Amino acid sequence: TQLLEQSPQFLSIQEGENLTVYCNSSSVFSSLQWYRQEPGEGPVLLVTVVTGGEVKKLKRLTFQFGDARKDSSLHITAAQPGDTGLYLCAGARNNQGGKLIFGQGTELSVKP
């Protein structure tokens, strides 16, 4: 059973297009992290969201945490080839010893 459903799993778009990645769960998370990973490297933390309804912006990236803290989205405006990579959402729950539950990942390719 996948506790954190991430979609889409693959996305290939042209430079300048917008996109949204979704992470959904039936469980409540105390926090949710988004990571980006490039080939040959480890995941790099983009943002942590904690409060229900929270919206955070990181340049062209907008992250939202659902009001009920069960879902999250990542929206990229005017995608660039440098945005290409594997995007991972990961949720933390209370009393889980700091462990994260990862989504399946979204492989994004932005073509020039």
Partner 1 sequence: SAVISQKPSRDICQRGTSLTIQCQVDSQVTMMFWYRQQPGQSLTLIATANQGSEATYESGFVIDKFPISRPNLTFSTLTVSNMSPEDSSIYLCSANLRGDIRIVETQYFGPGTRLLVL
User: Whose Cβ is closer to partner 1: residue 66's or residue 103's?
Assistant: 103
Beta carbons within 8 Å of 92's beta carbon, 6+ residues apart: 29, 30, 31, 32, 33, 98, 99, 100, 101
**77 beta partners:** none
| In the complex, least distance from residue 6 CB atom to partner 1, rounded to whole angstroms | 8
Mask: binding to partner 1, 8-27, rule CB under 8 A, as x and -?
--------------------
Question: Smallest distance from the beta carbon of 55 to partner 1, in angstroms?
Answer: 15
Footprint of partner 1 on residues 25-44 (CB under 8 A)? Answer: 30-31, 33, 35, 39-44
What is the distance between the alpha carbons of residues 92 and 31, in angstroms, rounded to a whole number? Answer: 5
**Torsions phi, psi for 100 (to 5 deg):** -110, 145
Partners of residue 49 on adjacent β-strands? 32
Provide the binding-site residues for partner 1, judged by CB under 8 A.
Answer: 6, 30-31, 33, 35, 39-45, 48, 50, 86, 88, 90, 92, 97-100, 102-105, 107
